[in-house]
Amino acid sequence: MLRMSTLLLRTLRDDPADAEVASHRLLVRAGYVRRVAAGVYSWLPLGYITFRNIERVVREEMDAAGFQEVHFPSLLPREPYEATNRWSEYGPDLFRLKDRKGNDYLLGPTHEEMFTLMVKGEFSSYKDLPLSIYQIQTKFRDEPRPRSGIIRGREFVMKDSYSFDLDDAGLEVSYQKHRDAYVKTFNRLHLNFNIVSAMSGAMGGSKSEEFLAPCPTGEDTYVLCNKCGFAANVEAMVTATQPYTGSAPAAMEIFDSPNTPTIDSLVDLYNKKFGESVSASATLKNVLVMVDDVATAILVPGDREVDLKRVGANLPGAKDVRLFEDEDFQNFPGLVKGYVGPQDAKKLGLKVYADPRVVIGSHWITGANAKDKHIRFVTHGRDFSVDGFVEAAEVKAGDACPECSTPVVIDRAIEIGHIFQLGRKYAEALGLSVLDQNGKSQVVTMGSYGIGVSRAVAAIAEQTHDEIGLNWPQEIAPADIHLVAAGKEDELYNFADKLGKDLETKGLRVLFDDRRDASPGVKFKDAELIGIPFIVIVGKSLADGKVEFRVRKSGDKSELSANNAAEEIFAAVRK
């Protein structure tokens, strides 16, 4: 039985000045965590019990799925990461250090290399596959900006799994097993979540899905269709398009457009000049970017912004996408800022990619590649062509669902899990292959699967808290019962002590507020802040043979007979 009189716990009456989001504020105020450095936190007893409960659920579900637990060091030598090129690719996000002999080491940000090498060291036959192994391990990433308390730390605990299969069909099976295990895990954690399609991004690989816990303070934005259930990370959102059906316009026509460097000013001038009433969507915006040192124009309708993240994620092989800067314009003197058009792209030495909305046959008002001149009737396929289509425009609420055309909604969420099919990148780089049935060497294909364990503490806190405090699902809470002795008479404390022991005998976990020097008001506030699901109060009503039973989440209160309080509580709590 945890006793408040001796627990290493001090709740805070005021919000800490450096905490903004609810989970951070409340976890600090309730005495679960303390900040040690930016993005680095210590766990106090209540917090660590909660953390371990989540860890236990994750471990049980991994084991139940038949995955084997292993454990790697956090301190790792440079060589394996050199072999996969990540020693340099990871850049400044990697915590690096040297040993006394001057050899390079790193603190593991993720462990693909180590898992791959472990399997390589032990297994060499197709008969050993499939295999899925996992660890629960502290990871280190020197994030450019840690934020939101333990939601994005520089040191955090992650469960990471890897699957090893001989072929793509096997990988698909392993992937589904992990997906199923994740659904079970997050359900047990009482997290509300969506599974969304994602881009596999920097890690390489193909199919990828994220588990997102919706929450206003989340840092991921995703798209959801309430009708058909389609869900996607904004990077992975696909634009629904229809072929152009109008008739071909007249030939291109240049017109004077003094002082119209912006879309709005252009639309104004155009409508006045030609007596029309077109909107920004009739204009074509040519956003100039550098894609890994290649000057590229991205074409989007004038009523849309370009989302560089989407461009980067959807241009195959693109590593770095950034906007043109002044010196880039100097390198391309033919480009007139604010008056760029795609019809001269070849001449200007530009690659051109179009958002899918710029369909073949559509015609546009766009820049004439001369100061104060625009051009109209510029037709895709007739007057200009593109090097390809790319998802480029920002996603907006109300865009059509690619599955069923219903307007989608946009929401924010915390990423609590990510699964993806890695493929053979790491197996190839590190030489992991096995002999198949024919005695031929085959490179193994891998999947990679992560759950943010420490982040899940914060995600659950975000989704379950209310104005007065935390509010844990029972399996995660640091105890089942928060037992409060409210009063000063010895009988109260003796009775409560006995009741606590009886509850423990029945298998319930009890946090007993046995502090003699705290007033009832303080104890009630603390109980609400700490967020254990059931609160039992032994107080003034004990004289009438009653104890009080409260449900933290609903606020429901009821009186139980003191005589068989343990039985009644047990029955109420086990539902």
* Cβ partners under 8 Å of residue 114, min gap 6: 72, 76, 80, 108
In angstroms, give the least distance from the CB of 434 to RNA. Answer: 27
- Per CB under 7 A, does 194 bind RNA? no
Closer CB to RNA, 158 or 350, in the complex: 158
* Cβ partners under 8 Å of residue 436, min gap 6: 126, 166, 442
- Per CB under 7 A, does 367 bind RNA? no
Asked if residues 163 and 175 have their Cβ atoms less than 8 Å apart, the reply is yes
In angstroms, give the least distance from the CB of 511 to RNA. Answer: 15
Binding string to RNA for residues 34 to 73, with x set by CB under 7 A, is what? -x-xxx----------------------------------
Site for RNA in 97-136 (CB under 7 A): 110
- Per CB under 7 A, does 289 bind RNA? no
Closer CB to RNA, 14 or 122, in the complex: 14
Q: Is 392 helix (H, G, I), strand (E, B) or coil?
A: coil
Q: Residue 403 and residue 103: Cα distance in Å, rounded? A: 53
Asked if residues 357 and 283 have their Cβ atoms less than 8 Å apart, the reply is no
Closer CB to RNA, 281 or 541, in the complex: 541
Asked if residues 211 and 414 have their Cβ atoms less than 8 Å apart, the reply is no
Asked if residues 417 and 161 have their Cβ atoms less than 8 Å apart, the reply is no
- Per CB under 7 A, does 265 bind RNA? no
Q: Hey, what are 379's tokens? A: 């037709």
In angstroms, give the least distance from the CB of 384 to RNA. Answer: 27
* Cβ partners under 8 Å of residue 34, min gap 6: 28, 41, 42, 44
In angstroms, give the least distance from the CB of 209 to RNA. Answer: 10
Cβ-defined contacts of 562-570 (< 8 Å, 24+): 562/495, 562/538, 565/499, 565/536, 566/499, 566/502, 566/503, 566/506, 569/481, 569/503, 569/508, 569/534, 569/536, 570/503, 570/506, 570/508
Q: Which of 316, 521, 554, 575 lies at the binding interface for RNA (CB under 7 A)?
A: 521
In angstroms, give the least distance from the CB of 37 to RNA. Answer: 4
- Per CB under 7 A, does 296 bind RNA? no
Q: Residue 222 and residue 499: Cα distance in Å, rounded? A: 48
Q: How many residues bind RNA (CB under 7 A)?
A: 68
Which of 231, 235, 236, 244 has its CA nearest to residue 406? 231
Q: Is 384 helix (H, G, I), strand (E, B) or coil?
A: strand
Q: Which helix (H) or strand (E) holds 546?
A: strand 546-551
Closer CB to RNA, 302 or 450, in the complex: 450
- Per CB under 7 A, does 365 bind RNA? no
Q: Residue 170 and residue 185: Cα distance in Å, rounded? A: 23
Among the residue ranges 18-26, 384-392, 393-401, 424-432, the one whose residues contact RNA (CB under 7 A)? 18-26
- Per CB under 7 A, does 552 bind RNA? no
Q: Which of 63, 82, 168, 219 lies at the binding interface for RNA (CB under 7 A)?
A: 219
In angstroms, give the least distance from the CB of 20 to RNA. Answer: 4
- Per CB under 7 A, does 541 bind RNA? yes
Closer CB to RNA, 341 or 487, in the complex: 487
Query: For 235-303, where are the alpha helices, taking DSSP H only?
Result: 263-274
Q: Residue 391 and residue 299: Cα distance in Å, rounded? A: 10
Q: Which of 280, 308, 359, 572 lies at the binding interface for RNA (CB under 7 A)?
A: 308
Q: Which of 29, 59, 86, 482 lies at the binding interface for RNA (CB under 7 A)?
A: 29
Among the residue ranges 69-77, 122-130, 293-301, 414-422, the one whose residues contact RNA (CB under 7 A)? 414-422
Q: How many CB atoms lie within 10 A of CB 147?
A: 15
In angstroms, give the least distance from the CB of 260 to RNA. Answer: 27
Q: How far is CA 500 from CA 325, 351, 492, 493, 567, in A?
A: 68, 73, 12, 10, 12
Q: Residue 308 and residue 27: Cα distance in Å, rounded? A: 35
Asked if residues 486 and 492 have their Cβ atoms less than 8 Å apart, the reply is yes
Closer CB to RNA, 34 or 509, in the complex: 34
In angstroms, give the least distance from the CB of 126 to RNA. Answer: 29
Closer CB to RNA, 384 or 534, in the complex: 534
Among the residue ranges 114-122, 170-178, 284-292, 307-315, the one whose residues contact RNA (CB under 7 A)? 307-315
Angle subtended at Cα 526 by Cα 521 and Cα 530, rounded to the nearest 5 degrees: 155
Q: Which of 71, 272, 347, 516 lies at the binding interface for RNA (CB under 7 A)?
A: 516
In angstroms, give the least distance from the CB of 424 to RNA. Answer: 18
- Per CB under 7 A, does 145 bind RNA? yes
Asked if residues 444 and 119 have their Cβ atoms less than 8 Å apart, the reply is yes
- Per CB under 7 A, does 328 bind RNA? no
Q: Hey, what are 99's tokens? A: 């040993």
Q: How far is CA 289 from CA 212, 324, 346, 483, in A?
A: 31, 5, 16, 62
- Per CB under 7 A, does 223 bind RNA? no
In angstroms, give the least distance from the CB of 489 to RNA. Answer: 8
Closer CB to RNA, 302 or 487, in the complex: 487
Closer CB to RNA, 61 or 415, in the complex: 415
- Per CB under 7 A, does 491 bind RNA? no
DSSP readout, 17-50?
TT--SHHHHHHHHTTSEEEEETTEEEE-HHHHHH
Q: Which of 118, 133, 142, 201 lies at the binding interface for RNA (CB under 7 A)?
A: 201
Residue ranges that bind RNA, judged by CB under 7 A: 10-18, 20-21, 29, 35, 37-39, 93, 110, 139, 141, 143-149, 152, 156, 158, 201-203, 210, 219, 308-309, 312, 321, 415, 417-418, 450-452, 455, 468, 486-488, 516-522, 524-526, 528-529, 537-541, 548
